[in-house]
Copies of this chain bind each other. A is one copy, B any other.
Amino acid sequence: MTIHPISVLWKNNTDKHYSLKIIDISLRGCAQVMFQNNPITGLLFFIAIFIAAYNNNNPLAAWGCIVGTVLASITGAIAHDVKSWRDGLYSYNGCLVGIAIPVFITATPIMWLCLVVGSVVSVIATVCIADILKTWKVAALTAPFVLTTWVILLASYAFHNIYGSGLPAPELSQHYIAASQNHYSISFFIDGTLHGVSQVFLFPGILASLFFIAGLAVESVVCACYAIIGSFIATLLACYLGANPHEIEAGLYAFSAVLTSVALGTVFNHPGWQVFIYTVSGIIFTVFIQAAMNVLLMPFGLPTLTMPFVISSWLFLVPNKELMPEHRH
């Protein structure tokens, strides 16, 4: 890759000015949700998040995302690992916490307190989990985001002043019976696949999805392809197994598979045929884990967030960790 003069200029300025440095880290942090270390990718992702949040009538989620990412970027300095900090590896969990809290919790001043607490704790959780997992040379992925957010969402049930208006009602699981035989159209699969990409950031949306894919393609076209392939295979499989078609169309069976696909196919393994087959296996099992966790969390009224991706990726990464590129050790 040739280094553009503008990229050198940017680097020099971010080294000198603290506020520019935090902006750079925040952009990279946003991009790291999908494993990219590139501020342009991050910028495109932020645009996509704003489009998705405004289209879904929840603008606070976009602003919360900025607050969460910036706070995590500032807090990340405590981690004593300057390289990871500068690469945004302490920021991406705060980015997702910043979206998730306004999505699931009613907007009040205490919601913002939860968002601040969640973003800061997500950094401590990242350091903690990364330290535990380095024994087996796997990354923390989005586990810090999921665990921190689950704690706050569960706590919302116990606190009068935090209301989880976006949470499903706790109930015992029952076998899902389809209302009628479904005839899936081509547009159904396109919708499910694209929504799957944008659901990584907790919103459905076609236009947002195209921005996310563009952001990936800026850094790596292969990566963008793996995201689409992962989403498409997951959508197809969920239809074949007979999942709820509304959930499939909203991308809720595909978003974890998008991340698994990118992680297994391009980030932690060297691309190739064997890796492609291994990645497809990972995508298939991610759909089962997604369904299993939907059911498992039903009695608690909790969303799975990206935990199915995390579990599936750990499962498939630990056995072949010797393939992992150096920079992710």
B-binding residues in A (CB < 8 A): 79, 110, 117, 120-121, 124-125, 127-128, 131-132, 135-136, 150-164, 170-178, 240-244, 281, 284-285, 288-289, 291-296, 299-301, 314-316, 318-319, 321
Residue of B nearest to A238 (CB): B159
Which 5 residue pairs are nearest across A and B when measured between Cβ atoms? A160-B242, A154-B292, A161-B242, A155-B291, A158-B291
Residue on B nearest A165 in the bound complex, by CB: B175
Copies in the complex: 3
CA distance A164 to B177 in the complex (A): 12
Q: Can you report 21 A-B residue pairs in the complex whose CB atoms are below 8 A from each other?
A: A110-B240, A120-B281, A128-B315, A128-B318, A131-B321, A132-B136, A132-B318, A135-B135, A151-B289, A154-B291, A155-B291, A155-B292, A157-B173, A157-B295, A158-B244, A158-B292, A158-B295, A159-B241, A160-B176, A160-B177, A173-B301
Q: Chain B: which residue is nearest A153 at the CB level?
A: B292
Q: Is the CB of B288 within 8 A of A160?
A: no
Q: With both chains docked as a complex, state the minimum distance between the C-beta of A297 and any C-beta of chain B, in angstroms.
A: 10
B242 to A128, Cβ gap below 8 A?
no
Of the candidates A121, A159, A289, the one having the most CB atoms from chain B within 10 angstroms of its own CB is A159
Query: What separation, in Å, do the CA atoms of A174 and B157 have in the docked complex?
Result: 6
**Across-interface contacts of A289 in B (CB, < 8 A):** 151, 155
Contacts known (A124-B319, A128-B315, A132-B318); A292 close to B150, Cβ less than 8 A: yes
Q: Are A157 and B131 in contact (CB under 8 A)?
A: no
CB <8 Å contact, A300 and B296 = yes
Nearest-neighbor residue (CB-CB) of A163 within chain B: B175
- Interchain CA distance A132-B193 in the complex, whole Å: 34
Chain B residue at smallest Cβ distance from A241: B159
Which of B110, B281, B294, B319 meets A241, CB within 8 Å? B110
A265 vs B123: C-alpha distance when bound (angstroms)? 20
Q: Which residues of B contact A175 (CB under 8 A)?
A: 156-157, 163-164
Centre residue among A154, A174, A240, A321 by max chain B CB count within 10 A: A154
- Please indicate the chain B residues that have their CB under 8 angstroms from the CB of A152 in the complex: 288, 292
Contact partners of A291 in chain B: CB under 8 A? 154-155, 157-159
A117 partner, pick from B127, B161, B177, B288, beta carbons under 8 A: B288
Q: Provide the bound-state CA to CA distance between A241 and B242, in Å.
A: 42
Alpha-carbon gap, A160 to B176, bound state (A): 6
Q: Give the shortest distance, in Å, between A302 (CB) and chain B (any CB).
A: 9
Instruction: Give the CA-CA distance A293 to B155 in the complex, in Å.
Output: 8
**A315 and B124 contact, Cβ closer than 8 Å, known pairs A173-B301, A284-B117:** yes
The residue from B131, B161, B301 contacting A318, defined by CB atoms under 8 A apart: B131
